[in-house]
């Protein structure tokens, strides 16, 4: 059952009421609807967002889904009211910032009591535009597009996968998550037929801009971009950028800094970090653990490779080259949206455009 509130009116206070809803729970943060925040695209963005028009800063809107997730966790435990300190701790912010954010919604809580959890769920959901369904079109039915279509958490958050399109004749006509993949040539017709409000770009970087242009031309003004490229869109179009490679690079930066702080006593003679214990169990005391990376060889934790070539675990494996070596599917047409499931290393050197986390 959908956990979104009714379109208007205060939800009932009874636990488990059908009126208690919002963005629902799931992995990661809930995404804001088109009427919510979403960063303005870097190019041609000189107007106020709908959120700003209602007096709510983008930074506040970006935190609302986090508050909503925390509120659902509290509601699931049967908590009726919550103090600003408790909710702030659950959301990972300070209480002063939380109180200021919620004041933009007209919610100030009750002194000595706190916030009514159900009503705050309703208020946040209403502001994010989650009191209605948002039809979503996925462009690109490769591995990423398939995974997104099969994710069951969108419906409970107010996002309905309306259709998938692709250019590959071998993919068009197949079934994915109950949807028949349609030809990308019919994208504009699909958008009009299903009333698509949000377009998801799950294509290689080289065709992403063309896809965005067609989405905008067909009237779509909210785009979630997974392609490793900055999209150029006109004013009035919201773009959220999701680039996992950028997040991994940031993690690598912090891992490198932590590694530089490791002293000689923490390393073995071969330079590797000494085995760390987790719950009292050394990580290298059991059978050798194998690891593999794209474009590389499988290796055991003791440094021996598994292909018999004598290559050690200390050998450097160029992951980027391994990824780049993965070409399009044999026979895939030029511009195939699903031919590649990732870009080349150069694609990942583009700038950051409203990266969502």
Per-residue confidence in pLDDT tens, the chain, 357 aa: 445 554 434 444 333 333 333 333 333 333 334 444 333 333 333 333 344 345 789 899 899 999 999 998 999 999 999 999 999 999 999 999 999 999 998 887 888 889 999 999 999 988 988 878 899 999 999 999 999 999 988 887 789 999 999 999 999 999 999 999 999 999 999 999 999 999 999 999 999 999 999 999 999 999 999 999 999 999 999 999 998 889 999 999 999 988 876 656 665 665 555 555 545 555 444 444 444 444 444 444 444 444 444 444 444 444 444 444 445 555 655 566 655 554 444 443 333 444 443
Q: Could you give all domains of the chain from N- to C-terminal order, each with its CATH number?
A: 1-131 (1.10.10.10), 134-244 (3.40.50.720)
Check residue 319 and give its pLDDT.
41
What are the φ/ψ torsions at residue 166 (nearest 5 degrees)?
-155, 165
Write down the H helix ranges in 129-197: 143-150, 153-157, 187-194
**pTM of this prediction?**
0.57
Check residue 56 and give its pLDDT.
87
- Which residues face 199 on adjacent strands? 137, 223
Query: Would you say 22 and 4 are in contact if contact means Cβ atoms under 8 Å apart?
Result: yes
Query: Would you say 122 and 22 are in contact if contact means Cβ atoms under 8 Å apart?
Result: yes
Check residue 225 and give its pLDDT.
96
Alpha-carbon torsion (323, 329, 333, 337), positive or negative: negative
Residues whose CB is less than 8 angstroms from the CB of residue 51 and which lie 6 or more positions away in sequence, other chains included = 35, 36, 37, 57, 58, 60, 61
């Amino acid at each position: 059952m959908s956990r979104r509130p009714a379109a208007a009116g205060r939800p009932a206070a009874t636990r488990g009421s059908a009126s208690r809803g919002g963005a629902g729970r799931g992995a990661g943060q809930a995404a804001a609807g088109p009427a919510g925040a979403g960063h303005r695209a870097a190019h041609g963005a000189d107007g106020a967002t709908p959120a700003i028009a209602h007096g709510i800063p983008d930074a506040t809107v970006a935190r609302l889904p986090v508050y909503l997730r925390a509120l659902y966790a509290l509601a699931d435990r049967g908590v009726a009211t919550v103090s600003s300190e408790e909710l702030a701790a659950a959301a990972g912010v300070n209480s002063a910032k939380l109180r200021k954010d919620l004041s933009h919604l007209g919610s100030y809580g009750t002194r000595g009591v706190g916030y009514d959890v159900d009503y705050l769920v309703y208020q946040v959901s209403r502001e994010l535009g989650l009191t209605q369904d948002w039809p979503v079109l996925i462009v690109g039915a490769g591995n990423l597009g398939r995974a997104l279509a099969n994710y069951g958490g969108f419906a409970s958050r107010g996002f309905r996968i309306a259709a998938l399109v692709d250019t590959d004749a071998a993919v068009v006509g197949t079934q994915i998550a109950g949807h028949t993949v349609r030809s990308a040539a019919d994208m504009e017709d699909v958008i009009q037929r299903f009333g698509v409000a949000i377009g998801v770009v799950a294509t290689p970087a080289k065709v992403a801009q063309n896809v965005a242009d067609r989405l905008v031309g067909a009237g779509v003004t909210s785009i979630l971009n997974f392609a490793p490229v900055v999209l150029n869109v006109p004013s009035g179009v919201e773009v959220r950028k999701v680039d996992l490679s950028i997040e991994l690079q940031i993690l690598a930066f912090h891992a490198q800094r932590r590694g530089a702080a490791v002293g000689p006593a923490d390393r073995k003679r071969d330079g590797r970090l000494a085995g760390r214990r987790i719950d009292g169990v050394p990580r290298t005391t059991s059978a050798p653990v194998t690891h593999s990376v794209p474009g590389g060889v499988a290796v055991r934790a003791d440094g021996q490779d598994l292909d018999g070539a004598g290559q050690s675990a200390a050998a450097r494996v160029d992951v980027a080259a391994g990824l780049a070596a993965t070409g399009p599917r044999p026979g895939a047409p030029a511009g195939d949206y699903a031919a590649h499931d990732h870009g080349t290393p150069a694609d990942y050197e583009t700038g950051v455009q409203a990266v969502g986390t």
